[in-house]
Chain A
Amino acid sequence: AQSVTQLDSHVSVSEGTPVLLRCNYSSSYSPSLFWYVQHPNKGLQLLLKYTSAATLVKGINGFEAEFKKSETSFHLTKPSAHMSDAAEYFCVVSDPGSGYSTLTFGKGTMLLVSP
């Protein structure tokens, strides 16, 4: 069985400061890992994905994440927060070994950005 733990339900930063959203995963297989963002009244948008290639993954809007197998972590970072980054972020694990990819979501981290 696969699972995801997002260590913070809320993270508050000031505009222009770094962002760190933490995620730990559990998986029986070599997982695929994703970060999705959900803005109010909008659909989930893929930020980035890890699929066993480079461990440092770059995504859209300046976000990146590093896969660390020894720590079973996949933390999301951004060097400088922007007001438009305020949203809910989901860490997601998938085990495509079955031939399809049911996604298991974490509970989400709400990112608050203050001026």
Chain B
Amino acid sequence: DTGVSQDPRHKITKRGQNVTFRCDPISEHNRLYWYRQTLGQGPEFLTYFQNEAQLEKSRLLSDRFSAERPKGSFSTLEIQRTEQGDSAMYLCASEASYEQFFGPGTRLTVL
């Protein structure tokens, strides 16, 4: 058990719907990362938070994606108007001493 939790573990939605995922990092970890992993690929960086500040966003994070970490604790990732290409595993990680601890991920399927 890495201590990072994600909810839900699985989400099936229809194209065009909005979805929101939650990540609870290990407490006292100031840095939080979101990654996306598609079938047959390694995880790809999406965005990074230092406390509540979103400091870096990948070009993979289109305008339909938004992430927040309102109080520097848990984080949410929202995808608006989902597309079939959004189907993937969304991973969250929190960091201490340059070591990232990953949650189990949320698997999104867009029909």
| A binding-site residues for B, Cβ under 8 Å | 4, 32, 36, 41-46, 49, 51, 90, 92, 94, 96, 100-108
Given A46-B99, A51-B98, CB of A90 within 8 Å of CB of B42: yes
Q: Is B74 an interface residue (CB 8 A)?
A: no
Any chain A CB within 8 A of the CB of B65? no
Residue from B31, B41, B42, B98 in contact with A94 in the complex, judged by beta carbons closer than 8 Å: B98
In the complex, A101 Cα to B104 Cα: how many Å?
20
Kindly report which residue of chain A lies nearest to residue B1, judged by CB atoms: A43
**B50 and A100 form a contact (CB under 8 A):** yes
B105 within 8 A of A: yes
Q: How far is the CA of A49 from the CA of B2 in the complex (A)?
A: 17
Contact B104 A43 (CB under 8 A): yes
B31-A105 in contact (CB<8A)? no
Q: How far is the CB of B32 from chain A (nearest CB, A)?
A: 11
Contacts of A103 in B (CB 8 A): 33, 35, 43, 45, 100
Chain A residues near B100 (CB, 8 Å)?
A: 46, 101, 103
Q: Mark B67-111, 1 if CB is under 8 A from A, else 0.
A: 000000000000000000000000101010011111111000000
Task: Give chain B nearest CB distance to A109 CB in angstroms.
Answer: 10
5 shortest interchain CB distances as A-B pairs: A105-B42, A44-B102, A43-B104, A43-B102, A102-B45
A32: chain B residues within 8 A (beta carbon):
98
